């Protein structure tokens, strides 16, 4: 299990204002990010863990899930976390035309604005797929794509103990953007162990920095 595959190293060559793969290093910040929620069972439990440890994060929500669970959306914002755009229905973006991709993003964007009042949110493409026309369209529109530098590999749904072992063997670095998911309980189980470890190592937990 390699949380830093070669693809992530290659993406670092792109300007961070276009495809963000690293966050703040000077402040010893870690940027925890959660995809695919909100989930009626797992997101609330995850928020409890983050609150217990004073950690703030960014939630890349799927629009249709957010529409179904407004109470969780309001709680995410109220507890100091930020929202990101993860498309409306989490389709395979590489199979869609550019107009359909834009609609997936725009529909979710309008919904997120209703919860936090922000005019623009970072976009994270489903499954991290980066079709070139979509990337160029986001650049032209001034919409930042938020990627990651550290893949927790929780989407494979292994036991939390395995994720903890991987996190210990491959330590996080200041400025890391950590990919996790809140549509399953393993992320919360892992963080119950690792948040105190990372805090002891001197890290702070902050949402992704706003685009310049």
- Which positions are catalytic? 35, 181
Contact between residue 148 and residue 177 where contact means Cβ atoms under 8 Å apart = yes
Contact between residue 181 and residue 34 where contact means Cβ atoms under 8 Å apart = yes
Q: How far apart are CA 61 and CA 36, in angstroms?
A: 5
* Residues in the chain, total: 212
Nearest residue to 176 via CA among 155, 135, 202, 205: 205
DSSP per residue, 183-211: SSTHHHHHHHHHHHHHHHTT-EE-PPPPP
């Amino acid at each position: 299990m390699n949380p830093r595959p070669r693809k992530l190293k290659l993406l670092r060559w792109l300007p961070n204002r276009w495809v963000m793969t690293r966050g703040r290093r000077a402040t010893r910040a870690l940027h925890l990010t959660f995809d695919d929620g909100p989930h009626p069972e797992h997101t609330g439990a995850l928020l409890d863990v983050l609150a217990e440890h004073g950690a703030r994060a960014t939630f890349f929500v799927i629009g249709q899930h957010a529409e179904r669970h407004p109470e969780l959306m309001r709680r995410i914002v109220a507890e100091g976390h930020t929202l990101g755009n993860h498309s409306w229905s989490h389709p395979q973006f590489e199979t869609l035309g550019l107009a359909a991709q834009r609609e997936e993003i725009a529909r979710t964007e309008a919904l997120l604005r209703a919860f936090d009042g922000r005019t623009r949110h970072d976009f994270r493409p489903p499954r991290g797929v980066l079709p070139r026309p979509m990337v160029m369209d986001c650049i032209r529109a001034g919409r930042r794509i938020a990627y990651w530098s550290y893949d927790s590999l929780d989407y494979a749904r292994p036991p939390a103990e395995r994720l903890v072992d991987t996190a210990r063997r491959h330590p996080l670095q200041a400025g890391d953007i950590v990919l996790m998911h809140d549509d399953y309980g393993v992320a919360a189980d892992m963080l119950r162990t690792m948040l105190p470890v990372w805090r002891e190592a001197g890290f702070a937990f902050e949402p992704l920095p706003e685009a310049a």
